[in-house]
C-alpha cells in the first residue's frame, strides 16, 4: 500500500493535503496512477486549481481519462479548458468515446476549434501532437517590434524560445532564437537574424520520425508546416521525448514477444497483461514444433551417438542468444536511422563476419571442454557447429528486421524470441549435418 492510499483509507485528508503541497507534480501524478479511480479523485480534488492542472498534464492519457470520469462538471470543464491543445488531443485519442464527447462538449468554441483541427490529422502524425499556439514574426519587423509582439502574445504560446519567421502568406522562412533578439540592437531587422537552414516537419509526417529528427539536429523546437509550407504549429522537445519514450516502450514490449499495452505496470489488470503475452507465446509454441521435427528426423543419429545429445542445450542456447543480440542491435539501428533497408547486403556481410568471429572464440573454448568430457571426435563436431551456428544466427537476427521494414512490418515485431525460435530449429539442423559429415554417420 502506498503512502497516499494509506492516508485516504484512514481518512487523514489534512495530512494528505499537506503531503500533496510538499511534492512535485510528477511525483503526485505517479502516486495517482497507482490508486484506484475513486481514491485518485479524492486525492486530486485536494489540489488547487493551477496545481491540479500541472499534475493532470503529468499523467498518461489513459490515467487522465479515468480521472476525468470521476470529476464533477465544473471541475471537469476547468481542467480540460486549461489544458494545452496538443495534450488535450493526445488524451482524446486514448480515452473512451463517451469521455471524449464530454470533453469536447465542455470546451469553449475557440479551444474546441483548435482541438478539432489537431484531431483532423492522422493518429500517429506530428500534426496530432504539435501546438498550434505559436508566436510568428515577419522578417521586416525591427527587433524592438518583435520583442513587443512576443510580450503581447507569448503568454498563450506553447514556447517563445524559438520563434518562426514567416512571409505574408505565412510560409515558413526560418526561425530566430529569443536569445538573439534580446542581445541584438532594437533597430535591427528580424530578417538579418533569421536562421533559414532549419529542419521542419510536415503535419502529416510520422511523429516518431519528427522526434528522431529533433534528436539528430539538436533543435529545441521543430516547426510544423502544411503541404504548401505554411506554418501550422510547433512540435516541442517535451512532446518529442514522450513520443520517443512511448516508441521505445512499445519496441521493448514487442521485442520481448508481448503485444503493447498502456497503463501503469503495477495497476494494469493481470488478465490484460496475460492476454498481451499469450498471443505471441502461442505463436512461438507453434514455431517451436520445427525444433521437435528436427529432433524427430535425426532420432536415429542420436540413438547411434548418444553423446551428441549432451551439447544440444549449449548449441541451441548459444545460437538463440547470438541471434537475439543481432536482432536487438538491428532494430535499434533502424529506429535511430543508422541503418536503412538499402543497407541489407552490407548488414548481411557485417553480421556474418561478427558471427564468424564470435563462433571461433566460443569454439576454441567449447572444443577444449568437449574434448575433456566426451573425446576429440565429438569436440570437433561441437566446435565446427558453434562457428556455423553463430554465423548463421547473427546473419538471420541482423537481417530479419530490415526485411520486415522492407515489406512494411514493424521491425520490433521480429522480436528476439521469434529469432531465437527460428535459430533453435535451424541450429539443430546444422549440428546434425556437421555430425553426419565429421563422424561419417
Q: How far apart are CA 323 and CA 416, in angstroms?
A: 7
Give the model confidence (pLDDT) of 64-93 as tens digits.
877 887 777 777 777 778 888 888 888 887
Q: What is the CATH number of domain 288-439?
A: 1.10.357.20
Q: Give the mean model confidence (pLDDT) for residues 268-281.
A: 64
- Whether residue 264 contacts residue 34, with contact meaning beta carbons closer than 8 Å, is answered with yes
Number of C-beta neighbours around residue 144 at 10 A: 13
CATH T-level fold of 3-120: MgtE N-terminal fold (1.25.60)
Evaluate the CA torsion angle 289, 293, 294, 298 in order and state its sign.
Answer: positive
Collapse the DSSP code of 345 into the 3-class scheme (helix H, G, I; strand E, B; otherwise coil) and give the result. Answer: helix
Q: What letter does residue 183 receive in the DSSP assignment?
A: H
Query: Could you tell me which residue, 263 or 244, shows the higher pLDDT?
Result: 244
CA distance 29 to 316: 45
Integer Cα distance of 168 and 140 in angstroms: 10
Residue appearing with cell numbers 517563445: 160
- For the chain, which residues make up each domain, given as ranges? 3-120, 137-244, 288-439
DSSP state of 206: B
Q: Is residue 339 predicted with pLDDT exceeding 70?
A: yes
Dihedral over Cα of 49, 55, 61, 65: its sign: negative
CA–CA dist 248, 263 (Å, integer): 15
Distance CA 149, CA 157 (A): 12
Encode pLDDT of 176-233 as tens digits: 999 999 999 988 999 899 999 999 999 999 998 899 899 888 898 999 999 899 999 9
Per-residue model confidence (pLDDT) at position 261 = 55
pLDDT tens sequence across 393-423 = 999 988 988 888 888 777 766 666 778 778 8
Asked if the 137-244 domain carries CATH number 3.30.450.20, the reply is no
Are the C-beta atoms of 392 and 378 separated by less than 8 Å? no
CB 31 within 8 A of CB 4: yes
Residues with Cβ < 8 Å from 3, sequence gap 6 or more? Answer: 19, 31
pTM above 0.85, yes or no: no
Q: How many CB atoms lie within 10 A of CB 387?
A: 22
Task: Find the angle CA(213)-CA(215)-CA(216) to the nearest 5 degrees.
Answer: 65
Amino acid at each position: 500500500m502506498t503512502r497516499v492510499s494509506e492516508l485516504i483509507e484512514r481518512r487523514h485528508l489534512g495530512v494528505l493535503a499537506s503531503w500533496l503541497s510538499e511534492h512535485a507534480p510528477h511525483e503526485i501524478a505517479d502516486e495517482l496512477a497507482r490508486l484506484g479511480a475513486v481514491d485518485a479523485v479524492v486525492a486530486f480534488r485536494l489540489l488547487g486549481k493551477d496545481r491540479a492542472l500541472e499534475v493532470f498534464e503529468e499523467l498518461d492519457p489513459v490515467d487522465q481519462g479515468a480521472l476525468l470520469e470521476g470529476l464533477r462538471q465544473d471541475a471537469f470543464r476547468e481542467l480540460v479548458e486549461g489544458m494545452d491543445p496538443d495534450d488535450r488531443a493526445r488524451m482524446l485519442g486514448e480515452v473512451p468515446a463517451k469521455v471524449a464527447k464530454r470533453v469536447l462538449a465542455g470546451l469553449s468554441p475557440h479551444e474546441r476549434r483548435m482541438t478539432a483541427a489537431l484531431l483532423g490529422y492522422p493518429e500517429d502524425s506530428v500534426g496530432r501532437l504539435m501546438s498550434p499556439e505559436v508566436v510568428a514574426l515577419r522578417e521586416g519587423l525591427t527587433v524592438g517590434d518583435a520583442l513587443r509582439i512576443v510580450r503581447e502574445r507569448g503568454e498563450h504560446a506553447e514556447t517563445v524560445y524559438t520563434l518562426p519567421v514567416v512571409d505574408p502568406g505565412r510560409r515558413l522562412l526560418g526561425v530566430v532564437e529569443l536569445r538573439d533578439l534580446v542581445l541584438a540592437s532594437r533597430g535591427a531587422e528580424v530578417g538579418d537574424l533569421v536562421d533559414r537552414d532549419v529542419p521542419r516537419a510536415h503535419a502529416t509526417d510520422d511523429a516518431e520520425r519528427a522526434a528522431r529528427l529533433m534528436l539528430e539536429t539538436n533543435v529545441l523546437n521543430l516547426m510544423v508546416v502544411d503541404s504548401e509550407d505554411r506554418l501550422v504549429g510547433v512540435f516541442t522537445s517535451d512532446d518529442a521525448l514522450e513520443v520517443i519514450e512511448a516508441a521505445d516502450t512499445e519496441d521493448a514490449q514487442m521485442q520481448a514477444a508481448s503485444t503493447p499495452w498502456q497503463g501503469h505496470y503495477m495497476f494494469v489488470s493481470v488478465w490484460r497483461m496475460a492476454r498481451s503475452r499469450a498471443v505471441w507465446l502461442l505463436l512461438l509454441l507453434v514455431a517451436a514444433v520445427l525444433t521437435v521435427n528436427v529432433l524427430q528426423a535425426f532420432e536415429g543419429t542420436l540413438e547411434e551417438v548418444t553423446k551428441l545429445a549432451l551439447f544440444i542445450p549449449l548449441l541451441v542456447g548459444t545460437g538463440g542468444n547470438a541471434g537475439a543480440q543481432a536482432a536487438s542491435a538491428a532494430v535499434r539501428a533502424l529506429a535511430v536511422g543508422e541503418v536503412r533497408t538499402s543497407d541489407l547486403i552490407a548488414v548481411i556481410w557485417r553480421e556474418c563476419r561478427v558471427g564468424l568471429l564470435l563462433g571461433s572464440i566460443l569454439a576454441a573454448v567449447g572444443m577444449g571442454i568437449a574434448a575433456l568430457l566426451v573425446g576429440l571426435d565429438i569436440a570437433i563436431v561441437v566446435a565446427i557447429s558453434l562457428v556455423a551456428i553463430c554465423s548463421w544466427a547473427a546473419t538471420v537476427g541482423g537481417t530479419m528486421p530490415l526485411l520486415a521494414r522492407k515489406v512494411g512490418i514493424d521491425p520490433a515485431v521480429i522480436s528476439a524470441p521469434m529469432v531465437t525460435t527460428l535459430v533453435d530449429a535451424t541450429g539443430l539442423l546444422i549440428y546434425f549435418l556437421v555430425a553426419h559429415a565429421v563422424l561419417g554417420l
